[in-house]
C-alpha cells in the first residue's frame, strides 16, 4: 500500500456528532442546498408547503420528527429530479403569542406592586393589556415571536432539514396580511363571509371568550346542582288537560331555565308515562331507560306504567315553561318539544331543556327549529335589570333563589348536588359560561359538499385520518367563526357604518383602503391594531362614519392562506402561484386535523377559482398528506414540562448524531403511530445499523481497495462475475425499486426498513462474509469483480439511504465517487436485471447453511475442522441451487456437497395438507382428508411428484388428491446428523479421517498465527518469519500443509520443529522473536513464534 495515494479516504474515527458537524461545515461552505436547488431549477416542480411553526416556543424532539419526514420526502423527490421549492414560514399571530406577553406583563406588574404574579393574573388579561396600551402590547408580541427563531434555525440546520430560511413567509408582514385581506374580501363578495352568533366559552370576569386550548387548561372537578323539574304538557290548543301530564327535565344549570324556550327528546328513544299507585292526580313522562335511575330501583312498588311512546311522538307537543320572568320575542317558536339526535338516555331523564343563548347544542337546535332566542344575561354574567327576583346576580349565584321559586311553583321534582368536570377560566378561576356572542363566520357549511369531494381526492397517509377523523369532522362541519376579541392578529378588514349596521365595506387591499380614505397610506402604515383603527371615512349614504370592527381573525386563517399569501398573491407572483398550487405534499401532526389541514382546505375551497388551478371540482390544496403522531417518552407517557420527561433534541443529537435519530424516528414504527422515544433503542437499532454500514465501507471496502483498486475497464462485466456478485446485484436492483416505490407511496417506514434490512442481512451478513477472502488477493479478476460489485452496492445504497441519513451517506458517497449524494439521482437508469432463479437458489443455500450449522452444533464439531460431506434436500429447483454448492462447501467447511432428489434412497417423502385447496373441495371433511394425506408413505406419494393425481380413503370414501392439494416434504434419512425444516434438509457426515484431522490442525495453526500477528501489531501486508514447534501430530499437520500455511500467514520462511533452533528454549527466552505463543490444541501442545521478515 502506498501511503501517498489514498484512493478511498477512511471515515474519521470520531463520534457521529463530530462527523456530522464536519459534513455540515462542508455543506455550508459549498452552499450545497443552493446548489441542489439550482441544479433542478428548470425541472418539473414537486410542490411542498411548509406548515409554519410559532417561533415563540423552543423546538422539541417532536419537531425533529415532523421535520425529518418532511425533509426526507423532499430529498427523495429532489433526487428523482424534481424541483422541490422549500420556502420556510413563521406563524406569528395569535393567542399563544399574546399569552406569552401577557405573562411577562403580569410578572412585571407583580414586581412593581411587590405581589405574587398569580394575584395579577386574577385581574383578567384585558385590563392589564389596556393598561399598557394595545400599541405597546402588539409591539412586544411582534418581538416575542422571534424569541426562539435562532434556535429553530439552528436545530433545522443541525438535523439537515433543508429549507429556505433566507426568504421565509411571515404571517404578520404587510404583504401577507394584504393577501389575507384579499381572501376575506373575495369571500365576502361570494357572500361567504357573514355576521352571526356563536356559543363560546366565556369568562364573565375577564370579559373575554376563551379558545379551546385555553378551556382545556382549566377543567376542574366541581359540585354543581343536579335538578329535575316536572313541566306540564299542554293540549294542542295550549290548555292544560284535565289530568295533569308532566314531563321530567334534567339540568345542571338551573339559571338557564330562565331562558328556556324548548325541550329536546331523542326521536328514537322510548319514553314511559307513569302514574303513582296512590293518589293519582298526575302522570309523569321520562325516558324508559331512566325510570329506575330517577325514581329509584323500587319504583315499581310505587308507580304503574300506563303507556309508552317514541320521542318522535312527543315532538311538536307544547308545554309550560318553568319560569315566566322574561318576555319571549315576537320571532321564534317557544315552549315546544323538538327531536334532537344529541339527546341521550345515559343520565338525566332523556329530556333536555333548551336555552339557545347558553349552549352549543341548544343554539344549534335553535337554528334548526327556529326557536326563540332569550338572553337576559349581560357581559358581566349577571341577570339584566328588570329580571324578577335575580336581577344583578351573577348567574351561578342565582341558582339557589331560582330553586326556591321552582319549589314554590311546584315544578321542582328533585334537586341534589353532583361532582363533574367543568371548565374554568385559566386566568382567574371563574366558571366559564357558554354564551352566545356576535361573531364573523366563513360559511363553510355552504361548501360542505365541495369540502367533502375535495377531501376525497386527497391521498391521506394513513387513510383513516382522511375518511375518519377529518372526514367525520367535515361532514359535521359548522361555520368557521373567524373573529377573535383579541389584539395581536390580522385585523378583520370589515368597516361598518356606525349609523347603519347593514352598511358593510370589506377592504381587500391597501390600495382600496387608500382610495376610501382619499389619500395615500403613510410610510409607517401598519395594518395591525391600534394603528389600523384610526382609518375611518364617511359612509356613501351621507349618514354615519365607516369604522373598522374591533376584532382580529383566527390565526389559523393566516396559516391556511399561506399557499397564496406566502407569495403576496394576487398582488405579485401570479406565475409562481400558478406553478406551485396546489401542493403535492404536506406533512404535519395529527393535532393539525382541525387546524392547518382544515384551514388550508376550507380557504381554498371557499376561494374557488379566485386561485389558479382551483375551479369548483378541483382537488384539495394538497394532493398527498403524511400525518405523524406524537413522540412519547420511553415509558409511553406524553412528554410534558410538568412531568420533566421532555427530551432535549440537542442532547440526543450530541449522543447519537442526527442520522441515527432520524433513522430511528422513521424506522421504528409507522409515523402515524405514537412512538416511544427511547435512547437505548436508538443505539440498538439505528446506531448499530449505521455502525455496520460504516464498517462495510471503512473496514472492508476502503481498507482493501486502497491497495490499488479503482473502477476501470479491467473489471469483469457483470455477467462474467461469480454467482455471489450477480446475486447481490440482483438484490440491489430489487431493493432499489422497492424503496423507491415505498417512498413514492409516502411510506417512509417500509422504505427505511427495506434498505436497512438489505444492508444488514444481504450485504453484511452474507455478501461480505462470503467474499472476504476475495478482497485480500489484490488484482485478480475475482478480486476486481468483488470490488466493482461492492462499490456499486455501496454507492447505490448511499443514494437509497440519503433521504433518511443524509450525513454518513454523503461522506461515503463522496469517498466512493467524489460527488455529493445529494446531487445524485435516486435510482439508476440501467440497473442490473433481477435474476429471480439465482435469488431463490441463494435463499435455499442460506436456509441449508443454517441447518448445516445446526447439524455441526449437534455433532459438536467446530467449523474449523473440515468434514467429508453434506447432503442437501431442497423443495424446489435442485439444478439452480447446486450451482451454489461451492459456496455451501466453504461456508460449512465440508469437502463435498451433494444435492439429493426424491428418487434417492436417502430421501423419504411425506405429505402435508394444503388446507387452502382442500378446504374448498371438502369443506367439513377437510380435517379427515388432511389426516389421511399425512398418513401416506413415500411410495404412495411418488405419483404426485410426477404431477399425477392419487386417491386416498378418508371417512370411508375415496377422495381424489391433486398435486396442488399437498406439499411434499423430502426428508434426508441417512445415518449422518440430520437437520430439517419446512422441506429443507441436510445430512452431515461427521467422520473425521486422519487427513481431515491434519487439515483441521493446520487451520488451527493458521488461526493462531493470525491472532499472533495481530497481537504483534503487524500490518496486514507485513511478511514474517514463523517458527512452529510442539506435539508430533501438530508438526505433522504443519508439514503436510506447509506451503498453504506459509501462504496464508505471509510467512517468508517457516521453521518447523528442529529447524527452529535454540531461541525456542523452554526457559521462555523469546527475545529474538517479536511474538510467541504457547498453548495446546485438544491436548496436543503447540508453540509459535514469529518476527517481521527482513528486520
Alpha helix segments (H runs only) across 329-394:
360-369
Indicate whether 591 belongs to the interface with RNA (CB under 7 A). yes
Q: For residue 1009, report the phi and psi dihedrals to the nearest 5 degrees.
A: -65, -40
Find the binder of RNA among 123, 854, 889, 1081 (CB under 7 A): 854
Q: Is the peptide bond before 530 cis (omega within 30 degrees of 0)?
A: yes
Q: Which stretch binds RNA (CB under 7 A): 158-166, 767-775, 985-993, 1064-1072?
A: 767-775
Closest separation in Å from C-beta 221 to RNA: 12
**C-alpha to C-alpha distances, 513 to 524, 527, 547, 1005, nearest whole angstrom:** 15, 10, 12, 94
Q: Based on CB atoms, which residue is closest to RNA, 208 or 865?
A: 865
For RNA, the closer of residues 333 and 1023 by Cβ is 1023
Give the shortest CB-966-to-RNA separation in angstroms.
Answer: 12
| 636 HSE (CA, 13 A, CB side) | 1
Tell me which residues in 447-476 interact with RNA (CB under 7 A): 464-465, 468-469, 472
Residue 97: which of 489, 483, 473, 481 has the closest Cα? Answer: 489
Q: Residue 689: helix, strand or coil by DSSP?
A: helix
142 vs 688 by CB, closer to RNA: 688
- The Cα–Cα gap between 1005 and 796 comes to 40
Residues 473-512 that bind RNA (CB under 7 A): none
Interface positions, 927-946, toward RNA (CB under 7 A): 927, 930
Kindly write out the interface string for residues 172-191 of this chain, putting x where it contacts RNA by CB under 7 A and - elsewhere.
Answer: --------------------
CA dihedral sign, ordered 302, 306, 308, 309: negative
Q: Which is nearer to RNA, 1 or 43 (CB)?
A: 1
SS3 for 83? strand
Pick the stretch among 30-38, 57-65, 693-701, 805-813 that binds RNA (CB under 7 A).
Answer: 693-701
**Positions 55 through 94 that interact with RNA (CB under 7 A):** none
Residue list 774-813, contact with RNA (CB under 7 A): 776
Q: Rule CB under 7 A: choose which of 25, 216, 419, 781 binds RNA.
A: 216
Using DSSP's 3-state secondary structure scheme, residue 1076 falls into strand
Whichever of 631 and 785 has its CB closer to RNA, that residue is 631
Of residues 327 and 761, the one with the C-beta less far from RNA = 761
The kind and range of the H/E element at 25 are helix 16-30
Cis peptide bond upstream of 462, omega within 30: yes
Compute CA 646 distance to the chain's CA centroid, rounded to the nearest angstrom. Answer: 18
Residue 765 found at the interface with RNA (CB under 7 A): yes
Q: Which is nearer to RNA, 540 or 1053 (CB)?
A: 1053
Q: Does 307 bind RNA (CB under 7 A)?
A: no
Whether 556 is a known active-site residue: answer yes
DSSP 8-state code for residue 10: P
The span from the CA of 602 to the CA of 443, in Å, is 10
Query: Nearest approach, Cβ of 456 to RNA (angstroms)?
Result: 16
Give me the least distance between CB of 1050 and RNA, in Å please.
5
The single residue among 39, 300, 619, 630 that binds RNA, judged by CB under 7 A, is 630
Binding-residue total with RNA (CB under 7 A): 82
CB 326 within 8 A of CB 387: yes
Give least dist CB 234 to RNA, A: 31
**Cα dihedral sign for 721, 724, 725, 731?**
positive
Chain centroid offset of residue 899 CA = 48
592 is catalytic: yes
Number of other CB atoms surrounding residue 397 within 10 Å: 14
Catalytic annotation on 52? yes
What would you report as the CA-atom Rg of the chain, rounded to the nearest whole angstrom?
41
Binders in 723-762 for RNA, by CB under 7 A: 749, 760
Q: Which of residues 524-583 bind RNA (CB under 7 A)?
A: none
Of 53, 70, 90, 91, the active-site residue reads 91
In this chain, which of 187, 337, 590, 824 binds RNA, going by CB under 7 A?
A: 590
Catalytic residue flag (residue 225): no
853 forms part of the interface with RNA (CB under 7 A): yes
Quickly tell me which residue has 435512547 as its cell: 679
Choose the catalytic residue: 3, 635, 641, 860: 641
CB 145 within 8 A of CB 54: yes
Pick out residues in 653-692 that bind RNA (CB under 7 A): 668-670, 672-676, 678, 681, 684-685, 688, 691-692
Neighbouring CB atoms inside 10 A of 1068's CB total: 9
Nearest residue (CB) to RNA, 582 versus 985: 985
End-to-end Cα separation, the chain, in angstroms: 19
The residue whose grid cell reads 452444533 is 857
Is the preceding peptide bond at 570 cis, omega within 30 degrees of 0? yes
Of the candidates 566, 592, 865, 979, the residue annotated as catalytic is 592
Q: Which contacts qualify for 25-32: CB closer than 8 Å, 24 or more apart? A: 30/820, 32/820, 32/822, 32/823
Please, which residue, 216 or 280, has the CB nearer to RNA?
216
Catalytic residue among 152, 250, 480, 596: 596
Single residue of 114, 297, 923, 956 touching RNA by CB under 7 A: 923
Burial state string for 766-805 with b = 16 or more CB within 10 A and e = fewer than 16:
bbbebbeebbeebeeebbbbbbbbbbbbbbbbbbbbbbbb
| Residues 1014-1073, interacting with RNA (CB under 7 A) | 1014, 1020-1021, 1048-1050
What is the residue whose three cell numbers read 421532555? Answer: 646
CA–CA gap between residue 999 and residue 202 (Å, rounded)? 90
Minimum separation from the CB atom of position 92 to RNA (A): 21
**From 45, 293, 850, 876, residue interacting with RNA (rule: CB under 7 A):** 850
For position 344 contacting RNA by CB under 7 A, the verdict is: yes
Sole binder of RNA in the list 24, 360, 456, 878 (CB under 7 A): 360
Q: Which residue stretch of 43-51, 150-158, 269-277, 924-932 sits at the interface with RNA (rule: CB under 7 A)?
A: 924-932
Q: Is position 636 an interface residue for RNA (rule: CB under 7 A)?
A: yes
Query: Is 694 exposed, middle or buried, given 0-12, 13-18 or 19+ CB atoms closer than 10 A?
Result: middle
Note if 994 is an active site residue: no
The closest alpha carbon to 59, from 128, 143, 154, belongs to 154
Query: Residue 625 CB, nearest distance to RNA (Å)?
Result: 14
Residue 902 binding RNA, by CB under 7 A = no
* H or E, element range at 408: helix 395-408
Residue 309 or 1016: the one with the smaller Cβ distance to RNA is: 1016
CA torsion sign for 1023, 1027, 1032, 1036 is: positive
**Residue 91 bears catalytic tag:** yes
Say which of 31, 277, 638, 1014 is annotated catalytic.
638
Within 362-401, the residues that bind RNA by CB under 7 A are none
A 10 A CB-CB count for 994 gives: 10
Stretch that binds RNA, among 96-104, 124-132, 451-459, 859-867 (CB under 7 A): 859-867
Please identify, using beta-carbon distances, which residue of 47 and 200 lies nearer to RNA: 200
Of the pair 217, 541, the CB lying nearest RNA is at 217
Residue 268 is a binding residue for RNA (CB under 7 A) = no
The verdict on 645 binding RNA (CB under 7 A) reads no
Q: Pick the stretch among 96-104, 147-155, 910-918, 1057-1065 that binds RNA (CB under 7 A).
A: 910-918
Residue closest to 263 by CA, chosen among 348, 389, 192: 348
Residue 540: how many CB atoms within 10 A of its CB?
A: 11
Residues 195-214 as x/- pattern, contact with RNA by CB under 7 A: -----------------x--
Instruction: Indicate if 964 belongs to the active site.
Output: no
Strands 270-276 and 262-265: unpaired
Q: What is the smallest separation between the CB atom of 982 and RNA, expressed in angstroms?
A: 4
| Cβ neighbours of 333 (radius 10 Å) | 15
356 vs 353: CA distance, rounded Å: 10
Residue 516 or 594: the one with the smaller Cβ distance to RNA is 594
Q: Which residues are catalytic?
A: 52, 91, 556, 592, 596, 638, 641
Amino acid at each position: 500500500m502506498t501511503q501517498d495515494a489514498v484512493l478511498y479516504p477512511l471515515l474519521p474515527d470520531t463520534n457521529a456528532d463530530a462527523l456530522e458537524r464536519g459534513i455540515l461545515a462542508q455543506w455550508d461552505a459549498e452552499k450545497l442546498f443552493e446548489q441542489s436547488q439550482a441544479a433542478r431549477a428548470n425541472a418539473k416542480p414537486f410542490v411542498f408547503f411548509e406548515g409554519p411553526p410559532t417561533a415563540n416556543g423552543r423546538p422539541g424532539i417532536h419537531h425533529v420528527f415532523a421535520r425529518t419526514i418532511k425533509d426526507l420526502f423532499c430529498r427523495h423527490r429532489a433526487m428523482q429530479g424534481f424541483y422541490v421549492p422549500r420556502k420556510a414560514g413563521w406563524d406569528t399571530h395569535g393567542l399563544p403569542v399574546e399569552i406569552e406577553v401577557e405573562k411577562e406583563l403580569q410578572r412585571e406588574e407583580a414586581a412593581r406592586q411587590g405581589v405574587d404574579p398569580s394575584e395579577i393574573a386574577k385581574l383578567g388579561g384585558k385590563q392589564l393589556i389596556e393598561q399598557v396600551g394595545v400599541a405597546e402590547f402588539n409591539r412586544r408580541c411582534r418581538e416575542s415571536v422571534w424569541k426562539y427563531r435562532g434556535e429553530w434555525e439552528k436545530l433545522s440546520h443541525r438535523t439537515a432539514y433543508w429549507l429556505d430560511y433566507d426568504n421565509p413567509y411571515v404571517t404578520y408582514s404587510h404583504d401577507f396580511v394584504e393577501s389575507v385581506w384579499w381572501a376575506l374580501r373575495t369571500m365576502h363578495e361570494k357572500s361567504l363571509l357573514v355576521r352571526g352568533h356563536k356559543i363560546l366559552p366565556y369568562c364573565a370576569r375577564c370579559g373575554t371568550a376563551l379558545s379551546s386550548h385555553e378551556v382545556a387548561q382549566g377543567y376542574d372537578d366541581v359540585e354543581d346542582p343536579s335538578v329535575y323539574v316536572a313541566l306540564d304538557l299542554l293540549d294542542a290548543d295550549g290548555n292544560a288537560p284535565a289530568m295533569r301530564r308532566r314531563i321530567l327535565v334534567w339540568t345542571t344549570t338551573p339559571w338557564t331555565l330562565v331562558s328556556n324556550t324548548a325541550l329536546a327528546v331523542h326521536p328514537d328513544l322510548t319514553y314511559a308515562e307513569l302514574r303513582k299507585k296512590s293518589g293519582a292526580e298526575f302522570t309523569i313522562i321520562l325516558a324508559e331507560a331512566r325510570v329506575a335511575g330517577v325514581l329509584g330501583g323500587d319504583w315499581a312498588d310505587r308507580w304503574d306504567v300506563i303507556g309508552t311512546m317514541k320521542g318522535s311522538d312527543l315532538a311538536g307537543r307544547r308545554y309550560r315553561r318553568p319560569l315566566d320572568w322574561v318576555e319571549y320575542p315576537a320571532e321564534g317558536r317557544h315552549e315546544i318539544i323538538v327531536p334532537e339526535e344529541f339527546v341521550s338516555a345515559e343520565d338525566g331523564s332523556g329530556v333536555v331543556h333548551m336555552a339557545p343563548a347558553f349552549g352549543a347544542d341548544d343554539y344549534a337546535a335553535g337554528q334548526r327549529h327556529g326557536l326563540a332566542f332569550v338572553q337576559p344575561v349581560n357581559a358581566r354574567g349577571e341577570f339584566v335589570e328588570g329580571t324578577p327576583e335575580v336581577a344583578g346576580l351573577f348567574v351561578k349565584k342565582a341558582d339557589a333563589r331560582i330553586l326556591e321559586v321552582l319549589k314554590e311553583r311546584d315544578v321542582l321534582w328533585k334537586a341534589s348536588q353532583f361532582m363533574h368536570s367543568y371548565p374554568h377560566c385559566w386566568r382567574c378561576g371563574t366558571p366559564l359560561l357558554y354564551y352566545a356572542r356576535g361573531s364573523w363566520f366563513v360559511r363553510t357549511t355552504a361548501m360542505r359538499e365541495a369540502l367533502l369531494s375535495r377531501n376525497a381526492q386527497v391521498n391521506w397517509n394513513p387513510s383513516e385520518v382522511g375518511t375518519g377523523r377529518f372526514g367525520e369532522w367535515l361532514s359535521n362541519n359548522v361555520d368557521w367563526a373567524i373573529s377573535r376579541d383579541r389584539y395581536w392578529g390580522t385585523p378583520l378588514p370589515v368597516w361598518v357604518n356606525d349609523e347603519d349596521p347593514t352598511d358593510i365595506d370589506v377592504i381587500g387591499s391597501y390600495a382600496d383602503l387608500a382610495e376610501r380614505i382619499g389619500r395615500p397610506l403613510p410610510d409607517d402604515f401598519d395594518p395591525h391594531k391600534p394603528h389600523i383603527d384610526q382609518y375611518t371615512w364617511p359612509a356613501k349614504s351621507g349618514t354615519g362614519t365607516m369604522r373598522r370592527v374591533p376584532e382580529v381573525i383566527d390565526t389559523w386563517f393566516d396559516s391556511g392562506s399561506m399557499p397564496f399569501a406566502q407569495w403576496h398573491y394576487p398582488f405579485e407572483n401570479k406565475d409562481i402561484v400558478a406553478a406551485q398550487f396546489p401542493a403535492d405534499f404536506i406533512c404535519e401532526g395529527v393535532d393539525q386535523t382541525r387546524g392547518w389541514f382544515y384551514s388550508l382546505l376550507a380557504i381554498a375551497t371557499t376561494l374557488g377559482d379566485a386561485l389558479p388551478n382551483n375551479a369548483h371540482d378541483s382537488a384539495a390544496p394538497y394532493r398527498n398528506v403524511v400525518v405523524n403522531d406524537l413522540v412519547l417518552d420511553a415509558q409511553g407517557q406524553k412528554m410534558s414540562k410538568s412531568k420533566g420527561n421532555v427530551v432535549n433534541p440537542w442532547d440526543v443529537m450530541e449522543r447519537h448524531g442526527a442520522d441515527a435519530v432520524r433513522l430511528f424516528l422513521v424506522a421504528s414504527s409507522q409515523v402515524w403511530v405514537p412512538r416511544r422515544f427511547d435512547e437505548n433503542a436508538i443505539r440498538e437499532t439505528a446506531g448499530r445499523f449505521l455502525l455496520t454500514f460504516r464498517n462495510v465501507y471503512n473496514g472492508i471496502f476502503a481498507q482493501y481497495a486502497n491497495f490499488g483498486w479503482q473502477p476501470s475497464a479491467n473489471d469483469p462485466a457483470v455477467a462474467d462475475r461469480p454467482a455471489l456478485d450477480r446475486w447481490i446485484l440482483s438484490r440491489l436492483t430489487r431493493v432499489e425499486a422497492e424503496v423507491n416505490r415505498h417512498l413514492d407511496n409516502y411510506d417512509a417506514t417500509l422504505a427505511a426498513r427495506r434498505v436497512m434490512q438489505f444492508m444488514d442481512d444481504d450485504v453484511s451478513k452474507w455478501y461480505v462474509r462470503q467474499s472476504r477472502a476475495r478482497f485480500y488477493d489484490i488484482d485478480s479478476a475475482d478480486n476486481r469483480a468483488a470490488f466493482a460489485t461492492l462499490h456499486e452496492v455501496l454507492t447505490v445504497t448511499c443514494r437509497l439511504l440519503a433521504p433518511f441519513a443524509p450525513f454518513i451517506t454523503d461522506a461515503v458517497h463522496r469517498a466512493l465517487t467524489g460527488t455529493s449524494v445529494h446531487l445524485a439521482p435516486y435510482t439508476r437508469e440501467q440497473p442490473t436485471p433481477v435474476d429471480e432463479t439465482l435469488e431463490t437458489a441463494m435463499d435455499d443455500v442460506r436456509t441449508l447453511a443454517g441447518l448445516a450449522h445446526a447439524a455441526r452444533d449437534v455433532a459438536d464439531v467446530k467449523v474449523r475442522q473440515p468434514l467429508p460431506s453434506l447432503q442437501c434436500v431442497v423443495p424446489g429447483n435442485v439444478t439452480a441451487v447446486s450451482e451454489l454448492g461451492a459456496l455451501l462447501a466453504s461456508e460449512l467447511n465440508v469437502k463435498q456437497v451433494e444435492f439429493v432428489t426424491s428418487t434417492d434412497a436417502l430421501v423419504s417423502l411425506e405429505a402435508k395438507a394444503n388446507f387452502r385447496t382442500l378446504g374448498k373441495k371438502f369443506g367439513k371433511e377437510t380435517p379427515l382428508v388432511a389426516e389421511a394425506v399425512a398418513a401416506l408413505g413415500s411410495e404412495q406419494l411418488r405419483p404426485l411428484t410426477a404431477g399425477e393425481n392419487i386417491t386416498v380413503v378418508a371417512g370411508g370414501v375415496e377422495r381424489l388428491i391433486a398435486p396442488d392439494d399437498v406439499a411434499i416434504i423430502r426428508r434426508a434419512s441417512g445415518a449422518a446428523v440430520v437437520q430439517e425444516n419446512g422441506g429443507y434438509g441436510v445430512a452431515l457426515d461427521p467422520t473425521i479421517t486422519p487427513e481431515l484431522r491434519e487439515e483441521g490442525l493446520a487451520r488451527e495453526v493458521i488461526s493462531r498465527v493470525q491472532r499472533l500477528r495481530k497481537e504483534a501489531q503487524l500490518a496486514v501486508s507485513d511478511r514474517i518469519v514463523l517458527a512452529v514447534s510442539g506435539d508430533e501430530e501438530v508438526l505433522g499437520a504443519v508439514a503436510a500443509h506447509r506451503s498453504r500455511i506459509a501462504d496464508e500467514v505471509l510467512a517468508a520462511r517457516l521453521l518447523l520443529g528442529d529447524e527452529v533452533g535454540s531461541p525456542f528454549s523452554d526457559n521462555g527466552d523469546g527475545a529474538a522473536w517479536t511474538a510467541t505463543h504457547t498453548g495446546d490444541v485438544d491436548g496436543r501442545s503447540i508453540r509459535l513464534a514469529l518476527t517481521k521478515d527482513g528486520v
